[in-house]
Amino acid sequence: MVVILLGPPGVGKGTQAVRLADSEGWAHVSTGDLLRSALREGTTLGEQARGFMNAGELVPDALIMDLVREHLAALGPEVGILFDGFPRTTAQAGGLDAVLAESGRKVDTVVLFEASDDELVKRLSGRRSCPECGAVYNVFFTPPENEGKCDRCGAALQHREDDAPGTVERRLQVYQEQTAPLVAYYQAHPAGVVRVPAEQSVDAVHGEFRAAVGVG
């Protein structure tokens, strides 16, 4: 099973992905996490990406796809995959279809989490994330057991600079500009799009999410 999670920043994709991955033994794949891991480990792909980043350039889609391809090769064919916030563009979506086809996989379901801008601003201002394992918390809704520390691995949580209220509105605008074509792409794709209203409790959202991907 290959599932793509779409939704604006702060809608809860990471929280839901981690929860489902933990309960079902699926792989939670965030290209940001893959990139940070490659940089930290100094892999060949990581060093290639570092060159672009040091030059102030975006990491090319082809290199991102190579990172995804490398990661998929390390997973068994029976392992479910949750792509969190990726792809971001229709070009990446087409590239992902091609990479998955190489290993006999395909996108099975696309889940779009939706919430109002006002709700997202509140969530983002309280969001804290773990730089090591990718777990996401919120000081208002889902705080960690120990303030400032990840419950899963104990790493110090971070509040991303781009989660500051002054930058959130622009991020949401960019998301809408980029994602509208992507949603249209998947609505015409065999996988289709299932919409999940995310302004509910975490448990209620998770129940609808599990139903969307066919996990009882």
More confident call, 26 vs 76: 26
Active site residue 13: yes
CATH fold, domain 2-213, is: Rossmann fold (3.40.50)
**Which listed residue (50, 69, 171, 210) is catalytic?**
171
Clarify whether 149 is annotated catalytic.
Answer: no
Give this prediction's pTM. Answer: 0.79
| Residue 50 bears catalytic tag | no
Identified catalytic residue from 19, 122, 123, 127: 127
How many whole angstroms separate alpha carbon 132 and alpha carbon 190? Answer: 35
User: Which residue among the candidates 36, 88, 105, 152 is catalytic per the annotation?
Assistant: 88
Catalytic residue flag (residue 160)? yes
Give residue-wise pLDDT tens across range 74-129. Answer: 888 889 999 998 898 899 999 999 999 998 999 999 999 999 988 888 888 888 99
Q: How confident is the model at residue 153 (pLDDT cuts 50, 70, 90)?
A: very high
Does the active-site annotation cover 195? Answer: no
**What residue ranges do the domains of the chain occupy?**
2-213
